[in-house]
Structure 1
Amino acid sequence: MKKNNDLKEEQQKVCERYQSPAFFCGEEEKLGIALKSLTKSPIYGVRRARKDDTCGWYLWAGEFSDSEDFFSPMHVGHISEILPIAQKYLALAPGFKFIIDKNGYEDVWYEPESNGSE
């Protein structure tokens, strides 16, 4: 597990690399994560605008599903245990998306929200 300062530095570097302002998530904020999909690859992340107690991130692996129970809420503070490979991307601003895998593949881009669909 990374120390909070080390993680923030790593997140800041990712933001700089992709020319994004840093929108750090609080450990008590929630994100949507498709827990049942995490054995698959690649890993996808999409950040929407913050709302209430959520940071706006949705994370899943493999094929996306629009099923109502696809995503489960989880506190950001647990991501280090569940999906540590995604941690460094979580300060990217709303509108950013990423695809990564455990072999080092990384694709990060900004896509303004238009109709809210994937």
Structure 2
Amino acid sequence: MHYPHVVQQADVRRRYGTEIHMPEPGSKLGLAQAAACGIIPISGLRHPPSGDMSGWYVWSGDYSEDSEFFQPLHVSHAVSDEMVFAHYLALPPGWRFLIGADGYEDVWYDASLLATESL
């Protein structure tokens, strides 16, 4: 799979001291419609990959437990469509990000995301 955001992904890795952990080719992420439209703020978190899911869930605004909140999207489409969050997708499981207005960015590790028994 070709990732056009390799430079930005490498920059994220350097700034936060992580390894690049690309999602598997053909894997999917859970994407809320507002995030697909680029509505700020955008939040994302990565659980361990499972089946054909990369572990990524990305949304805008308030999180919802509604079963229809996230729609599956192939990671390759998120990257090829140059969605604003694409260069964070190489972060390993256990990482979160928040993108806000005026270039605001927060990226942090959350070990609770690695607990797979709740998935």
1: CA distance, partners of 2:84 / 2:12: 13
Note closer, same or farther for the CA distance 1:113–1:50 as it changes in structure 2 (3 Å cut). same
Unpaired runs of 5+ in structure 2? none
Q: Which residue of 2 aligns with 1:90?
A: 89
Measure how far apart 1:67 and its partner are. Answer: 0.9
Note closer, same or farther for the CA distance 1:73–1:56 as it changes in structure 2 (3 Å cut). same
Q: Which residue of 1 aligns with 2:61?
A: 62
Q: Percent same amino acid at aligned positions?
A: 36
* Structure 1 segment 1-118 matched on structure 2, within 5 A: 4=2, 6-35=4-33, 37-38=34-35, 39=37, 40-80=39-79, 84-113=83-112
SS at match of 2:84: helix
Note closer, same or farther for the CA distance 1:6–1:31 as it changes in structure 2 (3 Å cut). closer
Unpaired runs of 5+ in structure 1? none
The runs of 4+ residues in structure 1 deviating greater than 3 Å are 80-83, 114-117
Measure how far apart 1:50 and its partner are. Answer: 0.5
Note closer, same or farther for the CA distance 1:81–1:63 as it changes in structure 2 (3 Å cut). farther
Opposite residue 95 of structure 2, the aligned amino acid is F
2: CA distance, partners of 1:104 / 1:14: 14
1: CA distance, partners of 2:73 / 2:25: 10
Cα RMSD for the two superposed structures? 2.2
Note closer, same or farther for the CA distance 1:94–1:5 as it changes in structure 2 (3 Å cut). closer
Note closer, same or farther for the CA distance 1:74–1:57 as it changes in structure 2 (3 Å cut). same
Range that drifts further, 78-87 or 49-58? 78-87
Measure how far apart 1:54 and its partner are. Answer: 1.1
SS at match of 2:102: coil
